[in-house]
Amino acid sequence: EQYEEIKRAFLLLEKLFAEGDHGTRDLVGLVFLKPCRFSLLVRPYGNKVFEHYLGAMSKQCWKEIQRQRAGKSNLMDVIRSESQGD
């Protein structure tokens, strides 16, 4: 049952990506996927555990977040990079 709730949440996110406007897609990426991805980095199971729940558009956003994080050793490096416009 717990996994079904997770699956439903990700299905809703995918629907918002598919049917939402640009602002909605940005909001889903910035408010849910990005914090989710970074918070999972400190977990022993990592963030890959949720990848199979992602739909096509969510995966694209997930990969972009991963690309932005490349070469950064921690969340502060990412925040610093974003504030400098890298």
Pairwise CA distance, residues 59 & 50, whole Å: 10
pTM to 2 decimal places: 0.61
Pairwise CA distance, residues 47 & 55, whole Å: 15
> Does residue 10 contact residue 55 with C-beta atoms inside 8 Å?
yes
Nearest Cα residue to 63 out of 75, 73, 53, 51 = 51
Q: How many residues does the chain have?
A: 86
Pairwise CA distance, residues 24 & 2, whole Å: 26
Q: What is the pLDDT of residues 47-70, one digit of tens each?
A: 677 788 888 888 888 788 777 777
Q: What is the pLDDT of residue 33?
A: 78
